Amino acid sequence: MTPATDTAGRKHSFWLVVVAACVGAFAVAYNTTAVMTALPAMKSELDLDLDALQWVINVYMLFGAATLAAMGHLGDTYGMARIFLCGIVFFALGSIGIVIADGAILLLVGRALQGLGIAAVMAASVALISRSTPAEQRASAHGVWAAAVALGFALGPLIGGALTDGISWRAIFILDLVILGTAALLCLWVMRTGLTPAVLEGGKRTDFAGIALLFVTLAAFLYALTCGPLYGWTSLPALGLFALTLLAGAGFAARELHSADPLVRFDFFRYRNYSAAAAGMFLSGFTQIGILFFINYYIQAPEGLGFSALQAGLALLPFTAVMFVVSLVAPHTISPSRYGVWATVSMAALAIGFRLMHGVDHQTPFEDIWWRLTFIGVGVGLTMTLLPRIGLDALPDTNAGQGSGVVNTCLYSGLAVGTALGAVVALQIKRRIIDPFVDSASSVLPDADALKVTLVHGSESQVSKALAQLPAGDMEKVQSALLRAFDAGFSGVMSLMTGAALLGVVLCAVLIRARKTPG
């Protein structure tokens, strides 16, 4: 091989790094939405109650949010390729744990490992592309990566539904192992051939104390939201967890303000556009869970439309297809000077979509639902495309890595908090409808309070067992109340998502200004 041929080969070999990064990112993106379609099947097979079901999502988002911002630091110290490979290993171990899970504990441990994995893969894959790609090819390479992620998110519900119905929900995670194995082999190959940057930054310390404090803050807050409806908002567990949230949050803020290498640079928030982008990404994650979990669950639940997992994946195509197209087209058609206007439009589209879903119940035909999902697809596609760009454009280039980590941490925090608060709204509404029916039951119940808790928080087997102990007349009344409670709870969650999106409209309209070069 001549020197000229070798140079030409090297010039284009960076695409191997891009392919490796895209395969890994696709795997974790596909899994994120595929799992949402499989949740009802997991709930039924493992006999999970609603509280455990929401933690299948929350523990994943929690570990991802708490560690994502730190992965850039670790990559700078130990090498981005190594962190990317570690992320693949964590995600694969989590997938193995979930495949063999026979109950909630092993399932949640697996999801926690997957949360660590997605944080490492997402953070390191972007950095690998940035550092391995020539400047003139960087925009195209990042566009390919964004397309791979968007494709994974879009295809996830469809693939997850097909595997759940055709084989088992566990097949979702087996397919993960195949894709992750491919990504790992590609990563090892590019590392051996020296295509990844080997320069490491010395003297940079990872803020492990900050990671721990952020984790405790989020975990305590999310668990407090779980305990509130179950034990009462003024109960000792709930109040203690909220107090722990405040203490850990204050400790985190103090730590970051005085750390030489903070996990979160609070001075970034002096830029209005960056503050708007971070808050907007939190609200984007908050509202996305409205369709990924709550609408998805409504479509499959026996009390809702009663679709199979595959039918649910197909039913979500109006959302996923529109989101995929918008996320690809928007960067090439919207001028940076108009990002703020279109970010406001994106939040308005989310508000319209969720408002249209308010009032939908178990008797609404899907023919009258699908078109409403397209508004949400437009909103998610625009927010996920524009808000990170708005935030990073506000920062000096030298801070782009850390700034991106914080913005993505806000996204995952929003997904977790949206799941928890949505569940709180649904359960509180359900309790207000169920309790009077139990109290007015004609039969003498041995423990009416325990029955109320079981009907609202219990697993399928627990609810069925409780209903079977009631006389036929009372059982029919309670079943009717459960159906009404499901519809009302769903509408309540849609109202919550509408409110969050409207808050996003105000934030984007007030804070975002035309693009400027940071001082």
Query: What is the rounded CA–CA span in Å between residue 469 and residue 454?
Result: 13
- In single-letter form, the type of residue at position 35 comes to V
Per-residue pLDDT at 21:
86
What string of pLDDT tens digits covers the 519 residues of the chain? 444 444 444 455 767 888 888 888 898 888 988 998 998 899 889 988 877 888 898 899 889 888 887 887 777 777 778 888 999 999 999 999 999 999 889 999 999 999 999 988 888 887 777 777 777 776 677 778 878 888 888 888 999 999 999 999 999 999 999 999 998 998 888 888 776 665 555 556 777 888 889 889 988 998 898 888 877 888 898 899 999 999 999 999 999 888 877 878 888 888 888 899 999 999 999 999 999 889 999 999 888 888 998 999 999 999 999 988 988 888 788 888 888 899 999 999 999 999 999 989 888 999 999 999 999 999 998 998 888 888 877 777 666 667 777 888 888 899 989 999 999 999 889 888 887 777 766 555 556 777 777 777 777 777 778 777 776 666 777 778 888 888 999 999 999 999 999 999 999 999 888 665 444
Farthest CA pair distance, the chain: 92
Helix/strand/coil for 518: coil
Tokens of 309: 């997992």
Per-residue pLDDT at 191:
80
Long-range CB contact pairs, 397-402, < 8 A, 24+:
399/265, 399/268, 401/72, 401/76, 401/127, 402/69, 402/72, 402/265
Helix/strand/coil for 303: coil
Per-residue pLDDT at 441:
61
Alpha carbon 357 to its chain centroid, in Å, reads 21
- Within a 10 A sphere around the Cβ of 141, how many other Cβ atoms? 21
Per-residue pLDDT at 294:
92
Query: What is the rounded CA–CA span in Å between residue 429 and residue 433?
Result: 7
CATH classification code of 266-518 = 1.20.1250.20
236 and 219 Cβ atoms separated by less than 8 Å? no
The helices-and-strands tally (H runs, E runs) of the chain is: 19, 0
343 and 512 Cβ atoms separated by less than 8 Å? yes
CA angle 73, 77, 82 (to 5 degrees): 95
Residue 292 DSSP one-character state: I
Whose tokens are 């969650």? That residue is 493
Strand ranges (DSSP E) for 295-423?
A: none
CATH assignment of 11-196, given 1.20.1250.20, 3.40.50.11540, 1.10.150.120, 3.40.50.10490? 1.20.1250.20
Helix/strand/coil for 471: coil
Query: What is the rounded CA–CA span in Å between residue 118 and residue 20?
Result: 15
Tokens of 457: 């928080």
- Within a 10 A sphere around the Cβ of 148, how many other Cβ atoms? 22
* Closest-CA residue to 339 (of 397, 394, 269): 394
Q: Give Cβ neighbours of residue 15 (< 8 Å, ≥ 6 apart).
A: 141
Q: Dihedral (C-alpha) 269, 273, 275, 276: value to the nearest 10 degrees?
A: 170
Query: What is the rounded CA–CA span in Å between residue 52 and residue 104?
Result: 7
3-state SS track over 492-506: HHHHHHHHHHHHHHH
Q: Dihedral (C-alpha) 429, 453, 418, 26: value to the nearest 10 degrees?
A: -130
Whose tokens are 């390479």? That residue is 141
* Closest-CA residue to 261 (of 318, 204, 337): 204
Whose tokens are 């109202």? That residue is 495
Per-residue pLDDT at 82:
85
Query: What is the rounded CA–CA span in Å between residue 364 and residue 80?
Result: 49
